[in-house]
Amino acid sequence: MKNLFSMEKLFGGFLSNGDQANAFRFTEVEPALALDGEVVFDFLGVTNMTSSFCNALFATLVAHHPETFFTKVRFQNCDELIREFIMGAIALGKRESKEFA
Amino acid sequence: MLPPRVFDPNFHKLLGLLALIDKEVGAVVLDFKSVDYWIPAAVVAVTAMVTKWMEESRSVKLINYQNCGAFRYLKNIEFFAKLGLELPRTSTPLNDRFTSVEVHEVPTSCDTSYDQGAIVRRSAECLCGTSDPYDDTLLFAQYALGEMMGNARQHSGGVAFVSAQFVKGPDHARIGVADAGIGILESFRQNKPPHYFSGMTDEEALESAMKPWISSKSHLTHGPYGESGNKGLGLAMVLEMLQSTNGELFVASGNSYRRYQGRQPPEIGQLAGGNSIHGTFISIRFARDQVDNFKKILIDTQKTMDLTPDPKATNLFL
């Protein structure tokens, strides 16, 4: 089973609001991560975001689930810029997970 | 009497004047007779303060605005409309040297339904004169607008306003965000983040707020959504991006201001008359030709924040 989140349909082409990202993580993504199967974030149509959005969602997920994140979470249709944002958030999450440990 | 021309170097004087008016009681009369040009940050600063006074039921009267040099500009960006004066908007372009983004209100709460992205997209397109979603200037403007508005929305506790302008001659884009909320020091005082200490001054709070990893809320919970998503990076990353592209950032809160110009040490000072203003006021300026590769700017900025990508993470991309 695959849980797919279409980011453009959920938040538009520019992902901006960190509070929205954090609420989405808590209400949609964390429960999906607890289920079987991959959690896929589809960035088709997303051209830009803020660090606040990306970090609130992905850095916090990595910090909370450092192992599950790498086995279950996948990203698709990311252009190079979106990729850099996500890579930065993952680096931040790993740093936070070490601080929590 | 309001000052005729307000740019970043004298913005603190206008804020000092607004703080002085704020401190007094009774009716406010703002005389626009000499007003000729204000940067967007000055426009939204006055909008935020007038809105605050009206909410406090203070009588606010604007005089001589129809004859001032900036009348058409202020009317076109809906400045007067935001203050309750319904004036017909001019349909013809203001001036082919300028592109102006109208004053937008930014609801300052943790309302997760607020479509900040849509306002940012429209404003950035207007500012950059393109709707190409991959244009580097557009991406940079979106990023700065998104982080600055997010910052105001999350921390001020009051209503915030945003406006922007592009000037063709010097190729400068300017964005202003202002709120008449609680200000940075009070936000620290209320939320007591780890770096806060009793006796902290506005100047010290402002210095802290511009550093990475400093947030007044990162240690708190976010309503029903568990841990706060704040990392304290938003404004610090905007500052680093501006410094690396020879841009400028002015920020004021309480009685203090800091003005960053490229990599030079910041100018630090107090508002005119040592007055203290409610809220936080930010102005940024960047040149379009300096932001021709937003992805590189982002990568370099993340490096300065010690966010080195994990090679293992590349496997996560399908």
Q: Answer yes or no: are the C-beta atoms of B159 and B107 closer than 8 Å.
A: yes
Which residue bears the tokens 């607890």? A34
A·B CB contacts under 8 A = 150
Question: For the residues A15-43, what does the mean pLDDT come to?
Answer: 93
pLDDT at B117: 79
Instruction: Report phi then psi at A45, rounded to 5.
Output: 90, -5
pLDDT digits 0-9 by tens, B125-134: 888 888 899 9
Answer whether A44 touches B (CB < 8 Å): no
Q: Say whether A52 and B318 touch across the interface (CB within 8 A).
A: no
Q: What percent of chain B has pLDDT over 90?
A: 60
- Mean residue pLDDT of chain B comes to 88
Averaged pLDDT for residues B141-145: 94
Q: How far apart are CA B297 and CA B309, in angstroms?
A: 15
**Cross-chain residue pair B225–A12, CB shorter than 8 Å:** no
pLDDT range class, residue A59, cuts 50, 70, 90: very high
Nearest residue, CB atoms, A14 vs list B117, B305, B318: B117
Strands B277-287 and A2-6: unpaired
Q: Does A17 touch chain B (CB under 8 A)?
A: yes
Place of tokens 């279409």: A6
What is the ipTM, given to two decimal places?
0.93
CA angle (B143 as vertex; B139, B149 as ends), nearest 5 = 140
The angle, 0 to 180 degrees and rounded to 10, between the axes of the packed helices B294-304 and B234-244 is 120
Nearest to B107 by CA among B52, B152, B54: B152
| Total residues belonging to chain B | 318
Q: Which are the contacts of B177, defined by CB distance < 8 A and separation ≥ 6?
A: B41, B44, B106, B148, B149, B151, B152, B160, B161, B162, B281, B282
d(C-alpha B298, C-alpha B296), whole Å? 5
- Residue A86, by phi and psi: left (phi above 0), alpha (psi -120 to 50) or beta? alpha
